[in-house]
Structure 1
Amino acid sequence: MLTPLGIWPSVTNALSSRLTAEVRREGTRWVQEYARGVALGPPAAGGRATGSGTTLTFWPDAEVFDTQECSFAALEERFRELALLNRGLSISLTDERPARRSEPARSVHFRFPGGTRDFVALLDAGAGTPVHPDVVRLEREDRRMAGTVEVAMRWSGSRDERVRSFANSSPTPQGGAHVAGLHDGVAAAIDACARARGPARGQDPWPGPLPTGEGLTAVVSVKVDRPRLHGPTRGELAGAAVRAGVEAAVREGLSTWLEEHPEQADAILRRTGRRAG
């Protein structure tokens, strides 16, 4: 398929009765037409072009979908998510369909300089007062998993754990190896910090492993060449290398952050039961 965007345009192509791919590259506009995933001809030069980029225009297949109308709300939610996961990326969404009387024309624009930090702040809204002001963010490349890991997290007074996980910017609602690695790394970093500080005055000796998830809001996002997705809806990420890579990144990154922010570290230790309140 005439596009540098990876596998997802091919999926869209297969589910469309018609699709037009336009690529602007090196001063030339290239166009290729498809019908139900089959190319109607080779890419053809469509004139001169300024700049570079890719435009896909598609018509959902009525033989596949019950409705061919795209939901603005669903697209808005997904594009906001993508902008949060990819720091600095700008995404605009405009509804150019004829406006209904009860529904004015809509247009939204997303760009989040804080990326996953902003994501955690949004997830934390209404979750109670944060126990420490700063959102912890770390990013690292790991050769074992042949990719990168990015994590942002903060604890609040809520009793719930809110963890959102992604592989190559796609949601993994069943979690998997990257979420397990997050929990492993958080527990190791907090336990090490508590042991290094020793028990507070009047506190019992080291109580042993304790849960760290209560009140935790986190986003864990990995980008790998060949994600191993399991489950009926392919919503669970597998891979021992992914778990090990995320665990190491979180353990080392969070440990460094706790050392550099002693007052906030104390608040986290109290919240996770490692230190008396």
Structure 2
Amino acid sequence: MFDVSNQAVNEVLAGRATRVAITLTPDGGVRVAVDGPGVPFEDNADLDGPGLRAQLTQTYVGPRTLGRDAALVGWLHVGLFVATALSSRLTAEVRHGGVRKVQEYVRSVAVAPPAEVGPADDSGTVITFWPDADIFETTQVSSDTLVERFRELAFLNRGLDISLSDERRPAQSRSVQCRFLGGARDFVAFLDQHAGTPVDPETISFERQDERMAGTMEVAFRWRNTQEERFRTFANSHPTLAVSTHDLGFRDGLAAAVSAYAREQRRLTASDPDLQAGQIVKGLTAVVSVKLDHPEFEGATRGALANTAVQACVEEATREHLGHWLREHPKRAEAVLGRILHDVRRD
């Protein structure tokens, strides 16, 4: 499922399309439609990569790395082939050059070559597949899980337009569209919508490109009057674990900036130790997203980002930006620092 939708999202992020629409159909199928010029079935010189037929039938087609803005980079990925292999039936429709072509597969085998079935007054690519009940214990797809993931992608890729329609039960059909222009700032607001009141209403955020890590970072965070921390970290739009280098760098940057400001304001004495990240993140909601040309992952599930340069780059950027924010907003800074020191002394 996600291999097909990620492929469509990559078309948008690469600038070849503008929107993705996923539909759960009444007969148990999943339809993934993306606009744009449509991907021709056959390879040709105008394509930046393989044709659709190759994508549907080959496990490896073209370069592995799709670039820092791609939704799926650095993970085990076999592309559209996985949908062909795991579906009892799959149809591919391409509207390109005023012509509509369709090809059908049954349990990985093409029924016939791609065939013209009529004219097309628009363009795009549609993949519809039916998960194979002989392979999966259940072929039911959770719409809530899909919405959560598509919402993440829309937050992390500003302006991405992706929708999900669940038509499996006509009397209870639902449709959700995800498109956010505020990026990580909107993500923080979403995570905080049922939390306590903010220590300061402003969401602190920044974006930076750093060629030392061959990528970009987008960070947004704010403190709330709660003990719970909400951390979400991503690398090339994939969720990552707390041991990832960008997460560690962000926490180090927070600790350095707040400790330095506390000393400037004489809220820490010369004999007081620096504040630690664990003391500062209580009540913090944060989204840290990096997009890298060459992400490296480790761990049993390859869920931890391992690029060593990322930690120092994110630490430096966080320390500098938060340090400037604290000095430029003394009243707001006092509310944040007062909250942190109160918790530290209480503990």
Write the mapping of 1:174-253 to structure 2, written as runs, cut at 5 A: 174-195=242-263, 197-200=264-267, 204-205=269-270, 207-210=272-275, 211-253=279-321
Write the mapping of 1:111-150 to structure 2, written as runs, cut at 5 A: 111-150=179-218
Distance in 1 separating the partners of 2:297 and 2:110: 29
Q: Against the structure 1 CA distance between its residues 251 and 91, is the aligned structure 2 distance closer, same or farther, given a 3 Å change threshold?
A: same
Determine whether 1:69 maps to 2:134.
no
Distance in 2 separating the partners of 1:30 and 1:206: 75
Alpha carbons 1:154, 1:218 under 8 Å: kept: yes
Q: Against the structure 1 CA distance between its residues 35 and 226, is the aligned structure 2 distance closer, same or farther, given a 3 Å change threshold?
A: farther
Q: Against the structure 1 CA distance between its residues 142 and 23, is the aligned structure 2 distance closer, same or farther, given a 3 Å change threshold?
A: farther
Alpha carbons 2:242, 2:248 under 8 Å: kept: no
Give the deviation of 1:21 after TM superposition.
4.2
TM-score by length of 2: 0.67
SS of corresponding position for 1:273 = helix
Which residue does the alignment assign to 2:38? none
Query: Which range moves more in the overlay, 12-21 or 184-193?
Result: 12-21
Unaligned runs of 5+ in 2: 1-50, 56-65
Unaligned runs of 5+ in 1: none
Determine whether 1:109 maps to 2:177.
yes
Cα displacement string for residues 20-78 of structure 1 (whole angstroms, at most 9, x for unaligned residues): 44455565656565566677787777765555544332222334321112222221222
Give the deviation of 1:144 after TM superposition.
2.1
Alpha carbons 1:152, 1:219 under 8 Å: kept: yes
Distance in 2 separating the partners of 1:194 and 1:228: 36
Cα displacement string for residues 140-178 of structure 1 (whole angstroms, at most 9, x for unaligned residues): 112122221111100112112210111221212454111
Query: Which range moves more in the overlay, 36-45 or 231-240?
Result: 36-45
Distance in 2 separating the partners of 1:235 and 1:89: 24
Query: Which range moves more in the overlay, 59-68 or 161-170?
Result: 59-68
Matched positions, count: 271
Give the deviation of 1:257 after TM superposition.
2.5
Distance in 1 separating the partners of 2:240 and 2:219: 15
The aligned amino acid for 1:198 is Q
Which residue does the alignment assign to 2:156? 85
Structure 1 vs Structure 2: percent identity of aligned residues? 54
Distance in 1 separating the partners of 2:153 and 2:168: 23
Distance in 2 separating the partners of 1:133 and 1:76: 27
